[in-house]
Amino acid sequence: MTPNRPDLKRLFNPKAIAVIGASNREGSIGRIIFERLIPSLRKLYPVHPRESHIMGYTAFAEIAMLPEGIDVALLATGAEAAVAAAEACAVKKIPFLIIVAGGFGETGAAGARLEARLQEIVSRFETRILGPNSLGVFIPGERLDTIFVEHGDKALGSGGGVTFITQSGSVGVEALGLASNTGYGMRAFVGLGNKCDLDELDFLDYFGRDPETTCLAFYLENIAHGRRFLEKARQVTPHKPVLVLKAGRTAAGARAVSSHTGRLAGMDAVVSGAFRQFGIQRVLDDEELCDASKCLAMLPPARGPRVAVLTPAGGFGVMAADYIEADQRSMPLSMAALAPRTVRRIRDATFPFAACENPVDLTASADDGMFGRSLDALIEDDGVDIIICTAFFAPPAISDGLIAEIAARVPRSPKPLITFTQYGPFTDLYLRRFHDAGVVGFPSVSRAVRAARFLVERARILAALKEQP
């Protein structure tokens, strides 16, 4: 927070919220937003020029008639009306405005002039603006939801550690959908929109200091204050990972960025080099962003690149070995050589016909207890840095109890445990059950192996930062 600027805490934990353009009309954005705010148990103040009540709440005909002490105003109007409403809210000394309307700088010269008027309002008043063209914020633990598009289970992620900050509403909604379907652990969601005022630097600073955030994930098409963002990231990343999906890597992508947000994208090679220097982990697509933030929020960095694979299905063990050894361009991994004692322990815990070298194939005859005891042996092997478990449910031998067997070992393991599972149409359900038990899971071998690379990269970033003056 800078002098004469309100604390962002009032944006993310407001006591009183006004909705400009709230409506009783079914399907309208003003109604959807107001309806989604009701479970937050905040004081709500709808503003509508003609309606006396909105969904049972007393409505105010004008912004000037609102009571004092409002923390946030959501502007659910068209672009022209939003500019006028923003000034009225600023005069009313409302500290934070969320503008959901598009039609600003992303649409051309006329829209850019409207956006400039918003910036002029910010310069004259002690009011901050999120947007325009913003989905707003979603804080699961606070039941605060301003997002007007459907995004799955509203209870998802409460108690999670990922803060997801996105310049694209659609990319953000996909992450919310992932969280709803398979578990993700979201602390907060912020839709940046056009960034006429508040931008990624503000939220990197705020959530970098937030004790409930364990990982920061950004989707950005441009970076407003590049050097300051990098320097702040270097301060944050020793304490929690900072991930960035920087779009516009190609010439065509950079042109698309300009048309999407009205901003120019930077030179991609320079961006990548700067990210490495300042400890930012770069990912290349939306799936990587979600997978990396999920595992980095829940698992410790890998102390080395040596991976052990534990499976009841030999074919998937072979596939995992191929993925581990084949792609050495980004972050090299290797198959761990198991200690003789580890091999003996696994053989004693399972069957004479089990393949006890890495990848360890317990065969489909194994049961939950055999899996758990074999996992103990791998955890205690100093030559293993990361363990990937492939979990297949084939009752009565391997049952749903396998989730508890793996989950019981996660908190006492000094090395990351990653799970891969497939169960036909029930895959998402089982991934969610693993997540709820504290186990990081993925629906494919390749994504589980890629998660291991993210954890090795995180360890190398921390080591490099320690060497910097």
What percentage of the chain reaches a pLDDT higher than 90? 82
SS3 32: helix
Between CA 415 and CA 275 the distance in angstroms is 26
- Taking only the tens place, the pLDDT of each residue in 27-83 is 999 999 999 999 999 999 999 999 999 999 999 999 999 999 999 999 999 999 999
What is the pLDDT, as a whole number, of residue 276?
Answer: 94
pLDDT 10s digits, 377-393: 999 999 999 999 999 88
Residue 310 near residue 388, CB atoms below 8 Å: yes
3-state secondary structure of 322: helix
Give the separation between CA 308 and CA 450, rounded to whole angstroms.
Answer: 14
pLDDT digits (tens, 9 = 90+) for 219-230: 999 998 999 999
Output the CA angle 168-239-455, nearest 5 degrees.
Answer: 75
| Burial class for 6, CB neighbours closer than 10 Å (0-12, 13-18, 19+) | middle
- Give dist(CA 257, CA 265) in Å, integer: 7
Q: Ramachandran region of residue 114, left (φ > 0), alpha (ψ -120 to 50) or beta?
A: alpha
The pLDDT of residue 85 is: 99
**Mean pLDDT to the nearest integer, 317-326:** 95
List the domains of the chain with CATH numbers.
1-133 (3.40.50.720), 136-298 (3.40.50.261), 300-465 (3.40.50.261)
pLDDT tens-place string over residues 154-190: 555 556 899 999 999 888 888 788 777 888 888 999 9
DSSP string, 81-93: HHHHHHHHHHHTT
Name the pTM for this structure: 0.93
Task: Name the residue type at position 419.
Answer: T
Evaluate the CA torsion angle 10, 12, 17, 22 in order and state its sign: positive
382-432 confidence digits (pLDDT tens):
999 999 999 988 767 889 999 999 999 999 999 999 999 998 899 999 999
SS3 270: helix
CA-nearest of 217, 224, 215, 232 to 283 is 217
Measure the CA angle with vertex 28, ends 193 and 176; round to 5°: 45
What is the per-residue pLDDT for 262? 45
Radius of gyration of the chain (CA): 25
Phi, psi of 103 (to 5 degrees): 95, 25
- The amino acid at 66: L
For the segment 232-261, the average pLDDT, to the nearest whole number, is 78
